[in-house]
Homo-oligomer: A and B are copies of this chain.
Amino acid sequence: MYTMTSSSQPAKLWVKTQTFHTSPPQGFDLVLGGKLKQLEVAYETYGTLNHDKSNAILICSPLTTDAHAAGWNSEEDKKPGWWDEMIGPSKAIDTNRYFVIAQNMLGGCKGTTGPASINPDTGKPYGSSFLKITVEDMVHVQRLLVEHLGIDVLEAVVGGSMGGMQALQWSVSYPDKVRKCMCIAAAASLSAQALGFEIIGRKAIVNDPDYREGDYYVNGSPPEKGLAYARMIGHLTYLSAISMRQKFGRNQRPNTDREHFETGFEVESYLNHQGEQFVQRFDANSYLHITYAMDTFDLASRYGSLENAFRDSQAEFLLVGLSSDWLFPTEQTHELAKVLLNLKKVASVAELDSPYGHDAFLLEVEHLSRVLQGFLEKPTYSAKAAATLHPSEKSVLDSTRDLDALAGFIKPGSHILDVGCGDGAFIDRMFHQSKVTGVGIDFDLSHVVDCLRKNVPVVQGDVDHGLSLFGDQVFDYAVLNRTLQEVKRPRLVLREVLRVARKAVVAFPNFGHIGNRLSLTFTGAMPITKALPHSWHDTPNIHLFSLNDFQELCARENIVIEELICFPGSLPSRLILAAGFKNAGAEFVVAKISRKR
């Protein structure tokens, strides 16, 4: 499929767009009613399907792209496929490992059946007779293609924007045919704001006098002005305020024709250019049908609730939100995550910090690659569960006295939430040690990637807010391992962990430890110790407290301390602890707590 040259640049990956034709005997039923007699699907593949056909990844494409996702079609191409930076040998979606399928969606105008295709009943383009389609229809067509390629279960479906909607639909429509579902910059439905822009865009097309109810293919010109407006409006929703500022600011183009209230701002030339380019390559009817399918996509309303939609899905999920995306704001990513996590699905959420708005899923290649690769690299959760751990691997599991104590508090087979999970080592250890399942929360992208690599489900987020994602008593245990003293509102976090979990296990440095007291008393400086290693001005430990303080707060909050293990520091504190003075003797404390009944 590709060859390496001796230069440092890999050789171009040459690829040819193919077409799959099918005429199902009873026709292809559309969800909103009616049938299509014939179907054509344009597609490309990259990499090699393995012997047991278990390495196939389907790329679901966004609004206006085509089947040419990666590589080069011909020497004349000025640029490679639209997601070439993500798909290829040794790239995030690694064609050395995976057999990757890209395709043009139903309703499109790039080789797959759409409104500009010939209607077999009339011998003329469908135009106004093309029936309304849905994202579900698109996915059913993709399933036909996948079966045609001899594949039963997909290793992964992956899609950004509208492709993310298709990826979600796959896990709902074919709950046992997808092992990993990767949904980037998308949601289970469009927001009211996004709908508003879409609606205005379509209105511009259907009100263009050239539109003629969609039958503009013969004797006439297409509704180019309307389509160009729609594209311009759409384009603004793909960018962000910051990216537009960086790109254009208020720069003026010299010698601009200022007729018709044109301003000469670069942003105006850019929008004009986007509109002009788009009408050359896209069909207005396809734009109408596909955006309509996007607008009416709504898993909650289609299946009664999101819980119903995803209940049977066996896929593992990766949801990626983009911080400055206002077409699919990250709140929507979190809402979907909430549903999946409360259904106890294996689901992870990453939130990429990017100034580039919705388009970041095409631009933030490096960060997105790390996340996708981390998620793809490791075996699925069930495969991980089935694997026997080597003794040598066991020895690398993180094991310290306090982690052992925490672990000892947690019953085998429990479901846990690790609040401030770091690299996921604790959940991973518990999984191997006693078949404990769990989810981590951490705000750091590197930690999130570490978790993904271990196949530890993880939600990227702020602990002070992140727990709102979880329903009441979803977990058996919440773990606060060196986290409580780092949060902004410790009391609220304690309340929250005992809302989402039946019990919590808490490990914290005890500021009441004799070493801290003496250090402060005799040096007059904030203590720097093994348990509290940071200097005062640069410490994440913003709410220091002693064991006494903790006990007092628990009492006031109606929290029972069921078990308590104190770890002394040096020899004197061992003696103090042995004498029964816990608050003075303990350098580090591990406690199991629950709400008083």
Contacts and interface: CB of A to CB of B under 8 A. Distances in A.
A518 B524 CA distance: 11
A326 B524 contact: no
Interface string A168-211: 00000000000000000000011111011101101110110100
A442 interface: no
Contacts of A538: 491
A248 B561 CA distance: 47
A520 interface: yes
A296 interface: yes
A419 interface: no
Contact of A199 (B197, B265, B491, B516): B265
A247 interface: yes
A268 interface: yes
Given A199-B265, A241-B326, A189 B236 contact: no
Given A490-B537, A491-B537, A549-B536, A191 B263 contact: no
B537 A512 contact: no
B526 A546 contact: yes
Nearest to A557: B537
The winner among A199, A225, A491 for most chain B CB atoms within 10 A is: A199
A234 to B, nearest CB: 10
B196 A250 contact: no
A547 interface: yes
A523 B552 CA distance: 12
Interface string A232-245: 11001001110011
A18 interface: no
Nearest to A510: B524
A90 interface: no
Given A202-B261, A525-B552, 11 more contacts: A192-B244, A192-B245, A195-B265, A196-B244, A209-B209, A233-B233, A518-B521, A524-B548, A526-B546, A537-B553, A544-B544
Q: Which 6 A-B pairs have the closest CB atoms?
A: A542-B542, A192-B244, A512-B524, A524-B583, A490-B537, A206-B260
